[in-house]
Amino acid sequence: MAKEETVVQDINPKDPNKTYGLMELMKGRAPLVDKGGPEESLFSWPHLMLWITVVFLGLLVVLVGISWIFDAPLREPFDVDVPENPAKAPWYFLNLQELLLHMDKSLAGVLVPTVVLGALMALPYIDRNTRDTGIWYGTKKGLQITLFTTVYTLGWITVGVLFDETNIYGGFLRLLPGLQHITVPTGVHLVAGDLALYKVSLATVVAGWLLPVVIMVGLTGLLVAIVEVRWRPNIRERAIALFTGFAVAYLYLIVISMFFRGLGMHLTWPWDLPPNAIPF
Amino acid sequence: MMLPPIPGPLRAPLDKAIEVNKAVLDLIRQSPPWKSIFRNPYPNTDENRALVMFNSFFLHIMPVKVKRNTLKWNYTFGMGLLTFYLFVLLTITGVFLMFLYVPAAGQAYTDMQRLGTNVAYGQLLRNSHRWAAHLMVLFVFFHMCRVFYTGGYKPPRDFNWVVGVILFVLTLLLSFTGYILTWDQLAASAITVGANIGAASPMYIGGLMKAFILGADDPGPPTLIRVYAFHVILLPFAVFTMVGVHFWRIRKDGGLSAPATGRKARQVIVPSTRGGFSVKDVPAVSPEAPLPAPPEEVRR
C-alpha cells in the first residue's frame, strides 16, 4: 500500500519581513473539534430551512384537522359547591392526583414532585461523562435497562394500586388495635396567635408517610440493585434506570387515573366509567 | 414530464412574456426598498447561504451550517421544534381569544359559549388553542425524554437541561391556568385539586400558597382574574424569556448534541517546518491518539 501523503497547508502565510519561532507546544483541542467538518455538516439554507418549514406546515394541517373534527370540551358552569364525581385534574396532573390517593397530600403534592424535579436538575451534574453523548441509550445495555425498567415499573405500580384499592387510606391499619388513638406531633401551627403542636394519629402517619416512603424508596432501591447486579452499569446506565422509572410512572399513573378511576376515584374498567369521567 | 412543443406562432410572444417577466422581477430586486430588506442575493451560492443567515433577524438565531445528525428525523423526532411552534401558535390564537373573552366570573362561561355560536370560526379558534396546549405538554415531555435518552444533558449542555426542566414546569403551569379560564366544571375540579396540592405545603407555606392561588378562601371570582393574569402575562413572559435562554445556549453549546466524530484527533495545529503553524491531518482516529511529535528543528 502506498504511504499516505500528509497534506500540509499554511493557515497563516509567512511574512518574509518577520522572524518566527516556536514559543510553546501544548496539548489541546483544535478549533474544529466537535464542530463537524465539511463532510459532517450542511448549510442551514436550504437543508434546515426546508425541514423547519415542512414541519411547521405539517403541524398546522394536523392541528387544524384535529380542531375541525373534535370540539374542545365545555361542561356545566363553574360551581365548586356541586363538584363533579369523579372530580379530575387536567390529564398532566392526574399522576399527582393518583399519588394523592395513596399517601399524605404533602408527600404526594409537594415532596415527591420536589424530589423528582430536583433529581432531574441535578442529573447533568452527576453524569458528566461525554463519551457517549448523542447516542440513543448510550450502549446496548442502556436499551436493555430501559426495557427492563419499563416492565418493572408497570408491574409494581399495578400491584401497588390494586393493593391500595382494598386498603385505601390505610384501612388495613385498623386491624392494628390502638394505632388510631396514639397521636404524634407532626408540626407547629398558629392557633389564635399562639404556636401549637399539630398532632395526627399514628395510623395516619404510618399510612400516609411511613409506608408510602418505604415502598417508593424500597422499590427504587430494588430496581437499582437488580440493575447493578445484572448489568454492572456505568453512571449513565444507572441514570437510565431511574429516569425510565420516572417517565413510565409519570405516564402510567396518568393512564390509571384517567381511564380506570370512576365514582369516588375508585378503580373501575374504562367501559364502566361514569359520563364525564375523562377530563377532556 | 416533457412539455409539448410550443406551436410556432406562440413562441415569439411567449419568449417576450418571459423576458418582460424577468425584467420586472429584476427591477423589483434591484429597487432600493427590496435591497434594503433583503441585503444579499438569493442564497444559491455558499457565500450567500452564509450571508442570508447573518443578515436576517429571523434567521440569525440559526447557524450557517448544521451537523447532518441534527437533521436526522429519528435523532430528534422534531419534538423541540414542534413544542416551540405550538407555543407560537398558542400565542397567536391566545391573543385572538383575548379579544373575545372577559375574565369575569359572571361572563367568562357565556363568552365560551358565544365562541361556539356567535363568532365566525370562534369554535375552531378555541379548539385549536385547546388542542395545541395539550399537544405542547405532550411534546415537551417527549422532548425531555429524547434529550435524556440521547445523552443530550451532558456537559456542555448541562445548564440547558436545567433550563429545559424549568420550561417543562412552566409549560404545565401555563396549560393548567388556561384550563381554569373556561370557568366550567372541569375548571372547578382542576382548581380544587390544584389548590389542595398547593395547600399541602408544610406549615405556613401551604396556607400562603392556597391564598396566592385562589385569592380567597375558596375558588371564586378573585381566582379567575389572577389565574387570567398568570396565563396571559406572567407565565408567557417567563416562558418567552426562558425559551430565549434555551435557544441561545443551544448555539453557545455547539448546536444539538451529536455523537463524537473521529475528527477529534484527526486534525491538529502543529508548527510548520517552514515556520508558522499549519493544520495537519493525523491518520489516527482514536480520541486518545497522541499528538504528533513536533519537528526536531524549527528554522528561525
Are A76 and B185 within 8 A, CB to CB?
Answer: yes
Which CATH number applies to B71-252: 1.20.810.10, 3.30.200.20, 2.130.10.10, 1.10.10.10? 1.20.810.10
Does the beta-carbon distance from A83 to B196 stay under 8 Å?
A: no
Report cis status (omega within 30 of 0) of the bond before B9: no
Contacts of A88 in chain B (CB under 8 A): 189, 193
The 3-state DSSP class for residue B271 equals strand
Confidence of residue B269 (pLDDT cuts 50, 70, 90): low
Does the beta-carbon distance from A44 to B278 stay under 8 Å?
A: no
Tell me, yes or no, if B148 comes closer than 8 A to chain A by beta carbon: yes
Across the A/B interface, how many CB contacts are shorter than 8 Å? 311
Assess whether pLDDT exceeds 70 at residue B300: no
Find which of A6, A35, A45 to mutate to test the B interface (most B CBs within 10 Å of its CB): A45
Interface of A with B in 72-131 (CB under 8 A): 72-80, 83-84, 87-93, 96-97, 100, 104-106, 108-110, 117, 120-121, 123-125, 127-131
DSSP secondary structure letter of residue B220: S
Find which of B42, B111, B131, B249 to mutate to test the A interface (most A CBs within 10 Å of its CB): B131
Does the beta-carbon distance from B219 to A80 stay under 8 Å?
A: yes
Interface of B with A in 202-221 (CB under 8 A): 202-203, 206, 218-220
From B123, B203, B279, residue closest to A187, measured CB to CB: B203
CA angle centred on A80, ends A77 and A84, rounded to 5°: 75
Lowest mean per-residue pLDDT among A79-93, A258-272, B190-204: B190-204
With a threshold of 0.90, tell me whether the complex ipTM lies above it.
no
Lowest mean per-residue pLDDT among A71-80, B5-14, B63-72: B5-14
Averaged pLDDT, B14-20: 92
Assess whether pLDDT exceeds 90 at residue A256: yes
Q: What is the pLDDT of residue B266?
A: 46
The nearest alpha carbon in chain A to B86 belongs to: A59
Q: Which residues of A101-125 are buried (b: 16+ CB within 10 A; e: fewer)?
A: bbbbbbbbbbbbeeeeeeebbebbe
> What is the enclosing helix (H) or strand (E) of B269?
strand B267-271
The nearest alpha carbon in chain B to A45 belongs to: B49
DSSP labels, B79-138:
HHHHHHHHHHHHHHHHHHHHHT----TTTHHHHHHHHHHTSTTHHHHHHHHHHHHHHHHH
- How far apart CA B41 and CA B29 sit, in angstroms, is 9
Averaged pLDDT, A100-118: 91
Closest CA to B280 of B289, B294, B270, B290: B270
Does the beta-carbon distance from A79 to B185 stay under 8 Å?
A: yes
Q: pLDDT tens, B24-76?
A: 999 999 999 999 999 888 899 999 999 999 999 999 999 999 988 899 999 99
Classify residue B290 as exposed, middle or buried by CB count within 10 Å of its CB (0-12, 13-18, 19+): exposed
Interface of B with A in 71-100 (CB under 8 A): 71, 75, 78, 81-82, 85-86, 89
In angstroms, how far is CA B179 from the centroid of its own chain? Answer: 23
Q: What is the pLDDT of residue B280?
A: 58
Confidence of residue B282 (pLDDT cuts 50, 70, 90): low
Instruction: Please count the CA atoms within 13 angstroms of the CA of A248 that sit on its side-chain side.
Output: 20
Joined grid coordinates for residue A35: 464542530
Assess whether pLDDT exceeds 60 at residue B295: no
Averaged pLDDT, A77-89: 90
**Cα end-to-end distance, chain B, whole Å:** 66
Averaged pLDDT, A130-142: 90
Averaged pLDDT, A54-79: 96
Average pLDDT of chain A is 86
The interaxial angle of helices B221-229 and B203-214, nearest 10 deg, is: 90
> B80 to chain A nearest CA, in Å?
11
Q: pLDDT tens, B80-108?
A: 999 999 999 999 999 999 999 999 998 99
The nearest alpha carbon in chain B to A72 belongs to: B127
- Which residue has 401551604 as its cell numbers? B206
The nearest alpha carbon in chain B to A61 belongs to: B128
Averaged pLDDT, A69-80: 93
DSSP labels, chain A:
-PPPPPPEEESSPPPTTS------------TTTTT--GGGEEEIIIIIHHHHHHHHHHHHHHHHHHHHHSPPP--SBP-TTS--SS----GGGHHHHHHHHHS-HHIIIIIHHHHHHHHHHHHHHH----TTTTSTTSSHHHHHHHHHHHHHHHHHHHHHHHHHHHTTTTGGGGGSTTTTT-EEEEEEEEETTEEEEEEEEHHHHIIIIIHHHHHHHHHHHHHHHHHHHHH---HHHHHHHHHHHHHHHHHHHHHHHHHSB-GGG-B--GGGPPTT-S--
The nearest alpha carbon in chain A to B255 belongs to: A35
Q: What is the pLDDT of residue B298?
A: 47
Averaged pLDDT, B97-120: 95
Assess whether pLDDT exceeds 90 at residue A118: yes
Between these two residues, B299 and A94, which has the higher pLDDT value?
A94
- How far apart CA B97 and CA B130 sit, in angstroms, is 11
Assess whether pLDDT exceeds 50 at residue A88: yes
CA angle centred on A148, ends A147 and A151, rounded to 5°: 90
> B13 to chain A nearest CA, in Å?
35
Confidence of residue A170 (pLDDT cuts 50, 70, 90): low
Count other Cβ atoms within 10 Å, centred on residue B253. 16
Find which of B153, B223, B250, B274 to mutate to test the A interface (most A CBs within 10 Å of its CB): B153
Assess whether pLDDT exceeds 80 at residue A56: yes
Interface of B with A in 16-35 (CB under 8 A): none
Confidence of residue B78 (pLDDT cuts 50, 70, 90): very high
Assess whether pLDDT exceeds 60 at residue A108: yes
Assess whether pLDDT exceeds 50 at residue A258: yes
Does the beta-carbon distance from B126 to A72 stay under 8 Å?
A: yes
Interface of B with A in 247-276 (CB under 8 A): 254, 257-261, 263-264, 267-272, 274-276
Q: What is the pLDDT of residue B114?
A: 95
Tell me, yes or no, if A170 comes closer than 8 A to chain B by beta carbon: no
Assess whether pLDDT exceeds 80 at residue A30: no
Averaged pLDDT, B287-292: 53
Q: What is the pLDDT of residue B263?
A: 43
